[in-house]
Amino acid sequence: MSGALDVVRANAVELDSTLDVDPILDLIGDARVVLIGEATHGTHEFYETRARVTQELIASRGFNVVAAEADWPDAFRANRWVRGQGDDRSAADSLADFTRFPRWMWRNRVVVQFLEWLRDHNLRQAPHAQAGFFGLDLYSLHRSIEAVVRYLERVDPTGAAHARQRYACFDVFGSDPQVYGHATTRGIEPSCEREVITQLADLRRRAADYSSRDGRVAVDEYFSAEQNARLVSDAERYYRAMFSNGHASWNLRDRHMMATLEAVIGHATRMNGAARAVVWAHNSHLGDARATQMGAQGELNIGQLAREAFGRDVVSIGFTTHTGSVTAASNWDAPAELMSVRPSLPGSVERLFHDTGLGSFVLDLRGPGGAALERPLLERAIGVVYRPRTERHSHYFNARLRQQFDVVVHYDRTRALEPLELWSKHEADLPETWPSGV
């Protein structure tokens, strides 16, 4: 590893703080799609640096789309607020629909501060020069159904009645979409596939009428309704795929997120004349899957799909950390905790970066610095669940970092993201011996 250490030391650019983003911006260059990842869903430095880079891209380079690993209807409420629309009085209020686990991913102080900055920026711009905040994910089946029906109640009451009738297919399964997936894949109940596809086609058939009623706002609101209807269709397939073998559900989810990104870019181009997009998601979604252990097993992700779609116009940025603290949960749907992050394992890229002694730095993997990271190394991924007692099995995988990302940012010691709601457990309350969904 000594040769790799020397190469990284010689080529890394040290960072003074999370506000020192000029070296990162230099490496982004003229890219029009920038993927900015995170090695955990609960690290302050990852969120703050990502927000700061995004602010500069919006203010100085004409970026007008921020697309996040978040549910569409929840994020679109925040999108209305940053454009000076809707009834919310504050950024925190605009995030009120983020009630599904894990709330802290978006209901946290860094996101609030970013949305406040974005609203202030937008209100000083003409409508065509404003930037939007959008969600890419597909977990909001029932909330998206409600959004489609509410939209149609405003513009087409008869169409709303038809939508309610079609979507009533889900009523027998209650509020948990996984119950739907289990019952339909086991043949207990018929699926709702035909109904959701019919509803999406019906909405699209009336697009010209719906979107021409009240200028730009009507076009935006129709676009959101269509994305919600498409989300319902994809989520219906996703929850059935969860109970099949292989990686069908993961691949369907990332294909949906990529299709949503392309739809948002297309909409922004039509409305504004041009579009440049920043994507916020976990490293596991934004680093090219073909360079990872998961890709070898059949998974794809946005990072791979974006490179295939945008070529040299896309730059992907990954983050790593050696140790510190993180906001995560012990189990799925459990309360947020402030947890210690164990020091990275020997043989991992995080330990290699730690052993350089540089602290915080950015490394261009496309240049000579990437030569040290050609071969597979362990890489850590902490999602919304962190299980330090089974860390090697639960949170590490093999990856070739140089092929996975274009740029990597390393913060050797990091601290937990601060959620708007209190942690259920605080580090101070845990015994001294206290030591993945993404």
Structural domain includes residue 87:
no
Q: How confident is the model at residue 372 (pLDDT cuts 50, 70, 90)?
A: confident
The reply to whether 385 and 415 lie within a common domain is yes
- Asked if pLDDT for residue 435 goes beyond 60, the answer is no
Write the CATH number for 389: 3.40.1660.10
Domain boundary among 227, 244, 273: 273
**Beta bridge partner(s), residue 414:** 324
The mean pLDDT of the chain is 94
The pLDDT, as a whole number, for residue 210 is 85
Question: Looking at 151-165, 238-252, 305-319, 385-399, which range is the least confident one?
Answer: 238-252
For residues 413 and 415, give the distance between their C-alpha atoms in angstroms, rounded to a whole number: 7
For residues 274 and 71, give the distance between their C-alpha atoms in angstroms, rounded to a whole number: 24
Section 6-23 average pLDDT: 94
Q: How confident is the model at residue 368 (pLDDT cuts 50, 70, 90)?
A: very high
The reply to whether 218 and 342 lie within a common domain is no
The pLDDT, as a whole number, for residue 1 is 60
Domain boundary among 273, 299, 321: 273
- Asked if pLDDT for residue 428 goes beyond 60, the answer is no
Number of domains making up the chain: 2
The pLDDT, as a whole number, for residue 432 is 34
The reply to whether 251 and 361 lie within a common domain is no
- Asked if pLDDT for residue 77 goes beyond 60, the answer is yes
The pLDDT, as a whole number, for residue 433 is 31
The pLDDT, as a whole number, for residue 426 is 64
The reply to whether 258 and 351 lie within a common domain is no
The reply to whether 309 and 241 lie within a common domain is no
Structural domain includes residue 119:
no
Section 184-198 average pLDDT: 96
Q: What percent of the chain has pLDDT over 90?
A: 89
The reply to whether 235 and 292 lie within a common domain is no
The reply to whether 291 and 244 lie within a common domain is no
The reply to whether 144 and 223 lie within a common domain is yes
The pLDDT, as a whole number, for residue 215 is 61
Section 134-153 average pLDDT: 97
Section 143-169 average pLDDT: 97
For residues 227 and 74, give the distance between their C-alpha atoms in angstroms, rounded to a whole number: 12
Structural domain includes residue 329:
yes
The pLDDT, as a whole number, for residue 2 is 66
Structural domain includes residue 118:
no
Structural domain includes residue 29:
yes
Angle at 287 between CA 282 and CA 291, to 5 degrees: 140
Structural domain includes residue 22:
yes
Q: Which domain holds residue 350?
A: 1-70+276-438
The reply to whether 285 and 417 lie within a common domain is yes
Q: How confident is the model at residue 424 (pLDDT cuts 50, 70, 90)?
A: confident
Domain boundary among 273, 290, 312: 273
The pLDDT, as a whole number, for residue 422 is 82
Which of 240, 250, 140, 252 has its CA nearest to residue 181? 240
Structural domain includes residue 312:
yes
The reply to whether 424 and 303 lie within a common domain is yes
The reply to whether 216 and 321 lie within a common domain is no
Structural domain includes residue 81:
no
